[in-house]
């Protein structure tokens, strides 16, 4: 596989991850993406990672209430649901 093919595959994988897993399953990232004016479709590939809001230590520290902690769960355990 060439470097260009590898990069194209990585870009595709990132797009799919954002659209199919992060946005549908993570309330925290839905909120911060919305606040930053970023739509899942805006993420075209690895070059766009610098535009994305990332979770800080302060974000996690403020999640002291159990309901708020659930906002950070990406793929919930079906047994818990």
**75 lies in a domain?**
no
CA dist 30 and 23 (Å) reads: 5
The chain-wide mean pLDDT, for the chain, equals: 82
Q: Where are the alpha helices (DSSP H) in 18-70?
A: 23-25, 27-35, 57-61, 66-70
**77 lies in a domain?**
no
**79 lies in a domain?**
no
Rounded to two decimals, the pTM is 0.71
**20 lies in a domain?**
yes
Q: What confidence category does residue 64 fall into, taking pLDDT thresholds of 50, 70 and 90?
A: low
Q: What is the pLDDT of residue 74?
A: 67
Q: What is the pLDDT of residue 72?
A: 66
- Tens digits of residue pLDDT in 15-41: 999 998 888 888 888 888 999 999 888
Q: 15, 9 in Cβ contact below 8 A? A: no
């Amino acid at each position: 596989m060439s470097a260009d093919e590898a990069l194209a595959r990585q870009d595709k994988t990132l797009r799919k991850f954002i659209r199919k897993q992060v946005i549908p399953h993570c309330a925290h990232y839905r909120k911060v993406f919305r606040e930053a004016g970023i739509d899942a479709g805006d993420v075209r590939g690895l070059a766009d990672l610098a535009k994305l809001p990332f979770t800080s230590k302060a974000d996690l520290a403020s999640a002291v209430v159990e309901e708020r902690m659930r906002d950070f769960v990406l793929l919930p355990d079906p047994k818990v649901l």
